[in-house]
């Protein structure tokens, strides 16, 4: 029996997660697999109800689960208050650290019928398919930070170890081996000492992967290349902050951030979530694109070694998009609600 922790979170999170769970249940029924789902609090809703962005009960639930499926975290009332001591995003950072989720995996793939929605020219995004491996528990986000006594100076330390780099590096090399055998390390080795350590370490590791073509790119050049020629990339490996920025940039080229899933993987468990934020303006309106959350659930099934079910999800979504089963941000003129998209997928999956 699989134990699944579900953290709907804030904004549109509960709505898109609801569709994912509907589809998860029909797939489990088809595969005759037993499961147990338990919900937990995280983010703004958790602060409102418990005073903590990540309650201890939620963390305990996640530790006891085989995988975690999360919606989204964040609310304007905290974003707009610079004096807030507790913020929804602290729950996200803490769960990554406490569960040891050291690798964030974000596939960037385009769909032919959505290419016209991309801000890039259609020929640039045609058949784009790459994946970013972002280190998730080290770097500047987790280094010592603070201010001087009168508050006029601030610092954020960025620290990395060889062990941290090797751990995610091996994952990225192995992923490249299953794809087009090309790995790009993105760093800032011309300026940063931590980047020089990344480059030295990955260069040494490459000797164990002679079949993988390895190249290096400064982060500013990579940011430009993602716009100029996104089809250049196969697997990108990078540190925490660079990965955060580049994956948000890359998410735009697909035509809808609502199409992009992600996984955060650790030694004992993994967390799966859509790349998009909580979109509080759309909460409760039944207009959110649920595909990213559903694809994230598909990545969860693959992690749980239910590859057949994961392939069914991808196929169902491809067919749904071909038939125009999309939400308003993709097709303002003719569209479906969040729940209608979920219902269509459930009906389709019940026939295969």
In the block, residue with structure tokens 């000492």: 193
Buried b / exposed e along 104-134 (16+ C-beta atoms within 10 A): bbbbbebbebbbebbebeeebbeebebbbbb
Please report which helix (H) or strand (E) contains residue 154, including its range.
strand 154-156
Hey, which bits of 110-152 come out as E strands?
129-135, 145-147
What are the angstrom distances between the C-alpha of 132 and each of 94, 186, 205, 233, 309?
Answer: 22, 10, 18, 9, 23
Active site residue 311: no
Active site residue 56: no
**How far apart, in whole angstroms, are the C-alpha atoms of residue 267 and residue 218?**
29
What is the separation of C-alpha 50 from the centre of its chain, rounded to a whole number of angstroms?
Answer: 26
Give the active site residue among 22, 52, 188, 312. 188
**How far apart, in whole angstroms, are the C-alpha atoms of residue 140 and residue 160?**
9
In the block, residue with structure tokens 């699944």: 4
- Per the document, the length of the chain is 352
Are 236 and 222 a contacting pair, CB within 8 Å? yes
CB atoms within 10 A of CB 23: 25
Q: Which of 77, 72, 78 is nearest to 279 (CA)?
A: 72
DSSP class of residue 9 equals E
Active site residue 141: yes
Give the active site residue among 220, 268, 315, 323. 220
**How far apart, in whole angstroms, are the C-alpha atoms of residue 41 and residue 317?**
29
Give the active site residue among 141, 167, 181, 314. 141
Active site residue 248: yes
What are the angstrom distances between the C-alpha of 256 and each of 113, 126, 225, 291?
Answer: 12, 15, 19, 10
Active site residue 10: no
Q: Which residues belong to the active site?
A: 141, 188, 220, 244, 248
């Amino acid at each position: 029996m699989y134990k699944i922790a579900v953290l709907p979170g804030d904004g549109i999170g509960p709505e898109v997660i609801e569709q994912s769970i509907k589809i998860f249940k029909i797939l489990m029924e088809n595969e005759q697999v037993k499961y147990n789902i338990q919900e937990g609090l995280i983010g703004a809703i958790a602060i409102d109800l418990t005073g903590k962005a990540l309650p201890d009960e939620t963390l305990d639930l996640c530790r006891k689960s085989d995988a975690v499926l999360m919606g989204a975290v964040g609310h304007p009332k905290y974003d707009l208050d610079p004096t807030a001591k507790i913020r929804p995003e602290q729950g996200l950072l803490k769960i990554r650290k406490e569960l040891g989720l050291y690798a964030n995996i974000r596939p960037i793939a385009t769909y032919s019928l959505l290419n016209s929605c991309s801000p890039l020219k259609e020929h640039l995004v045609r058949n784009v398919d790459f994946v970013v491996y972002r280190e998730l528990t080290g770097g500047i986000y987790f280094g010592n930070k603070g201010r001087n006594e009168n508050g006029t100076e601030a610092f954020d330390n960025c620290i990395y170890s060889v062990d941290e780099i090797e751990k995610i590096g091996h994952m990225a090399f192995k992923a490249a081996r299953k794809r087009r055998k090309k790995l790009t390390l993105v760093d800032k080795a011309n300026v940063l000492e931590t980047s020089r350590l990344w480059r030295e370490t990955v260069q040494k590791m490459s000797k164990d992967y002679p079949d993988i073509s390895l190249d290096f790119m400064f982060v500013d050049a990579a940011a430009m290349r993602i716009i100029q020629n996104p089809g250049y990339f196969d697997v990108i490996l990078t540190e925490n902050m660079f990965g955060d920025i580049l994956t948000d940039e890359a998410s735009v080229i697909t035509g809808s951030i609502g199409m992009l899933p992600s996984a955060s993987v650790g030694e004992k468990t993994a967390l799966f979530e859509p790349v998009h934020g909580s979109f509080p303006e759309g909460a409760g309106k039944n207009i959110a694109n649920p595909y990213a959350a559903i694809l994230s659930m598909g990545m969860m099934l693959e992690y749980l070694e239910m590859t057949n079910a994961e392939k069914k999800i991808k196929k169902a979504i491809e067919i749904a998009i071909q038939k125009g089963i999309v939400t308003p941000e993709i097709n303002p003129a003719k569209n479906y609600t969040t729940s209608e998209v979920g219902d269509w997928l459930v009906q389709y999956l019940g026939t295969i």
